[in-house]
């Protein structure tokens, strides 16, 4: 019974961390959607990368904690974080800009159409 209680508490912590990650990502996306570049690091600008670094580091730390909890619960890695990480980095000349990409992410995340990681 103690193991079941411990796993239930860990799962509750995981859910709280996933909600925290999602809220932090949405806040960062709102800033990016308003025109601030750097969150997706598409153009490799060191000033934009430096400005976004605290946000990226915070998301990374929360994401690592989520993945540790998920590993203990025999769950796959946190999908939302994996998708976000995959969306970062250089893109081709035909790709949409970071503000438009952030708007698309916001629409998807706030529409309730996805249940990431569950």
Express each pLDDT in 9-39 by its tens digit: 999 999 999 999 999 999 999 999 999 999 9
Q: Is 118 inside any structural domain?
A: no
For the chain, the domain total comes to 1
Domain that holds residue 74: 2-110
- Across the chain, mean pLDDT equals 92
Taking alpha carbons only, the member of 93, 104, 94 closest to residue 39 is 104
Q: Is 116 inside any structural domain?
A: no
Q: Is 115 inside any structural domain?
A: no
pLDDT (tens digit, 9 = 90+) per residue, 58-97? Answer: 999 999 999 999 999 999 999 999 999 999 999 888 888 9
Q: What is the pLDDT of residue 93?
A: 86
Per-residue b or e along 65-88, where b marks 16 or more CB atoms closer than 10 Å to that residue's CB: bbbebbeeeeeeebebbeebeebe
Q: Is 99 inside any structural domain?
A: yes
Q: Is 106 inside any structural domain?
A: yes
Q: What pTM does this model have?
A: 0.89
């Amino acid at each position: 019974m103690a193991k079941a209680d411990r796993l239930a508490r860990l799962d509750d912590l995981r859910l709280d961390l996933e909600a925290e990650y999602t809220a932090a990502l949405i806040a960062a996306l709102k800033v990016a959607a308003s025109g601030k570049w750097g969150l997706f690091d598409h153009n490799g600008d060191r000033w934009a990368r430096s400005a976004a670094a605290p946000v990226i580091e915070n998301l990374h730390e929360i994401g690592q904690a989520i993945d540790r909890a998920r590993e203990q619960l025999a769950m796959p890695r946190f999908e939302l974080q994996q998708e976000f990480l995959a969306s970062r980095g250089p893109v081709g000349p035909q790709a949409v800009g970071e503000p438009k990409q952030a708007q698309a992410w916001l629409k998807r995340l706030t529409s309730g159409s996805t249940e990431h990681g569950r």
